[in-house]
Amino acid sequence: MVILKFGGTSVRDAEWINKALEIVKSQLDRAPVMIVSAMGKTTDKLQEIAHLAEKGMREKADNIFQDLKEAHFSVIHSFLTNENLSSCLAAMDILFIELKSIIKGLSYLRECTPRSNDAILSFGELFSTTIIAHRAREIKIDTAFIDSREIIKTDDQFTHAVVDENVTHSCIRGKIKPQKGKLTVAQGFIASTKEGITTTLGRGGSDYTASIIGAACHAEEIQIWTDVDGIMSSDPRIIPKAKTVAEISYKEAAELAYFGARVIHPSTIQPAINLGIPVLVKNTGNPQSMGTRIIANGEGKDRSIGLLKAIAFKKGITIINITSYRMLLAYGFLRMIFDIFEKYKTSVDLVSTSEVSVSMTIDNTSQLESIEKDLKAAGNVSVENNLSIICLVGQGLWRDPQILSKVYGALDSIPIRMISLGASDTNLSFVVPDNEAENTIKCLHKVFFE
């Protein structure tokens, strides 16, 4: 069997739902299970409703409710007929009546606990899957509808509930019966406690749902359908010639996620990767494009190891330098410094040390003044702002002895301020001035990819 997960943009209206179902239809012989997000920006709107209800602003909440209802019903009327239409309208009416009474109750009480918040947000996925299952039947796909709250079991940490894997796996295996020629549709993101109270897995949690179900059913593949061609070799807004990365390891994808590659959050696909199930990121708007295949670390074709996969960057970085001759041959010095960062809950990214000095980068400068003050007890402190980290991502990059000379050759006029080499086998990071970041990326992309 195969899992196909469609994000909100991939099911944003009738046209896109049709595209998604075409994709699913072409894979019916692989016993597909379709995991779906809420349509478009529905979850954001539901979140707004929850906030308004909490403030007792019933009228405004009702207006957004009405907009949501109209948007969903217009999709239904645009592509359903006869029994499919009446059955879908009946199911949706029940959902909207339920949502309306929750909004009413919360507005009266002027409260919205995390538990109520989850109850409200869950409707987005219930709406989308109800519509999609009916549309699938309308176009003659034999379809089973599953309520994910009956299969994904969590604790009661509402808004970011933790999945009980054992119970969940047996519920999934009991309820989902993948079959060739038949489609199963279920919601991403939503789940329930063992008492049956609705929970959610955290915003963007549908990838995680897909991964859990894929792992429980030993899927041959998990496909994440989104609105981009996959993971790109660099930011296409800066590098128009950026290419889709054909294959990337889990570790490499994790490095890129830190640099803001928002295509997929690696932790959400961990259950699948742990079992060696490949995850394919594809574009619903361009299904012919090959997409990106995410595989377990160290797997895949040998030729993919040792290759540069992508160049990422992060602007607005600050370097803090500490120099102290007390550091010479002393121990406990670094611990003292890191304790200060811990005290101010500020994470350090790159670190470079010599016998008498340490340089570190941070991107969150909200506590910088206090950190600087405390660090002065350790030595002379200087701070440099307006910098960018440039990160070359590729597992085993160092098997190519040419790589450093290629990097330095490409950047002969750009000052490199700090470099982190060898700390990870997956990346080479260095720091350049913010105003040189884009130029740096362009030069490197040219040398390595064009």
Burial of 440 (C-beta count, 10 Å sphere; 0-12/13-18/19+): buried
Task: Please identify, using beta-carbon distances, which residue of 118 and 247 lies nearer to ligand ASP.
Answer: 118
Q: Are 192 and 150 in contact (CB under 8 A)?
A: yes
- When the beta carbons of 126 and 414 are compared against ligand ASP, the nearer one is 126
Work out how close the CB of 202 gets to ligand ASP at its nearest, in angstroms, rounded to a whole number.
8
Binders in 205-224 for ligand ASP, by CB under 6 A: 205-206
Q: Does 40 bind ligand ASP (CB under 6 A)?
A: no
CB of 396 vs ligand ASP, minimal distance in Å = 32
| Nearer residue to ligand ASP within complex by CB, 205 or 379 | 205
The C-alpha angle with vertex 45 and arms to 39 and 49, in degrees rounded to 5, equals 140
Encoded one letter per residue, x for contact with ligand ASP by CB under 6 A and - for no contact, window 87-106 reads --------------------
Q: Give the footprint of ligand ASP on residues 165-194 (CB under 6 A).
A: 188-189
- Which of 8/230 has CB closer to ligand ASP? 8
Residue closer to ligand ASP by CB (options 38, 444) is 38
Choice between 204 and 285, CB closer to ligand ASP: 204
For ligand ASP, the closer of residues 6 and 448 by Cβ is: 6
CA dist 5 and 1 (Å) reads: 13
Choosing from 114, 147, 171, 204, the residue that interacts with ligand ASP (CB under 6 A) is 204
* Length of the chain as a residue count: 450
The CB density around residue 90, as the number of other CB atoms within 10 Å, is 9
Quote the least distance from Cβ 75 to ligand ASP, whole Å: 16
**Subset of residues 114 to 173 that bind ligand ASP, contact rule: CB under 6 A:** 124
Shortest distance, CB of residue 268 to ligand ASP, whole angstroms?
9
Give the nearest distance from C-beta 222 to ligand ASP in angstroms. Answer: 14
**262 binds ligand ASP per the rule CB under 6 A:** no
Measured CA to CA, the distance from residue 99 to residue 14 in angstroms comes to: 23
CA 397 to chain centre: 25
In this chain, which stretch among 36-44, 131-139, 342-350, 372-380 interacts with ligand ASP, using CB under 6 A?
36-44
Tokens coding 37: 């997000």
Residue among 10, 43, 122, 154 that touches ligand ASP (CB under 6 A): 43
Q: Minimum Å distance from CB 116 to ligand ASP?
A: 17
Tell me how far, at minimum, the Cβ of 123 lies from ligand ASP, in Å: 10
Q: Tell me which stretch binds ligand ASP (CB under 6 A): 160-168, 199-207, 296-304, 422-430.
A: 199-207
Residue type, 221: E
Q: Is residue 203 at the binding interface for ligand ASP, with CB under 6 A as the rule?
A: yes
CB 204 to ligand ASP: min, Å = 4
Q: How far is the CB of 44 from ligand ASP (least distance, A)?
A: 7
Residue closer to ligand ASP (CB basis): 124 or 291: 124
Could you tell me which stretch among 70-78, 176-184, 204-212, 368-376 binds ligand ASP (CB under 6 A)? Answer: 204-212
- Count residues binding ligand ASP (CB under 6 A): 12
One residue of 1, 4, 6, 8 binding ligand ASP per CB under 6 A: 8
Query: Which lies closer to ligand ASP via its Cβ, residue 107 or residue 200?
Result: 200
- 8 or 214: CB nearest ligand ASP: 8
Nearer to ligand ASP, 54 or 125 (CB): 125
Q: What is the 3-state secondary structure (H, E, C) of the chain?
A: CEEEEECHHHHCCHHHHHHHHHHHHCCHHHCEEEEECCCCCHHHHHHHHHHHHHCCCHHHHHHHHHHHHHHHHHHHHHHCCHHHHHHHHHHHHHHHHHHHHHHHHHHHHCCCCHHHHHHHHHHHHHHHHHHHHHHHHHCCCEEEEECHHHCCEECCCCCCCCECHHHHHHHHHHHCCCCCCEEEEEECCEEEECCCCEEECCCCCHHHHHHHHHHHCCCCEEEEEECCCCCECCCCCCCCCCCECCEEEHHHHHHHHHCCCCCCCHHHHHHHHHCCCCEEEEECCCCCCCCEEEECCCCCCHHHCCCCCEEEEEEEEEEEEEECHHHCCCCCHHHHHHHHHHHCCCCEEEEEECCCEEEEEECCCCCHHHHHHHHCCCCEEEEEEEEEEEEEECCCHHHCCCHHHHHHHHCCCCCCCEEECCCCCCEEEEEEEHHHHHHHHHHHHHHHHC
Residue 325, beta-bridge partner list: none
Is residue 38 at the binding interface for ligand ASP, with CB under 6 A as the rule? yes
The binding site for ligand ASP (CB under 6 A) comprises 7-8, 37-38, 43, 124, 188-189, 203-206
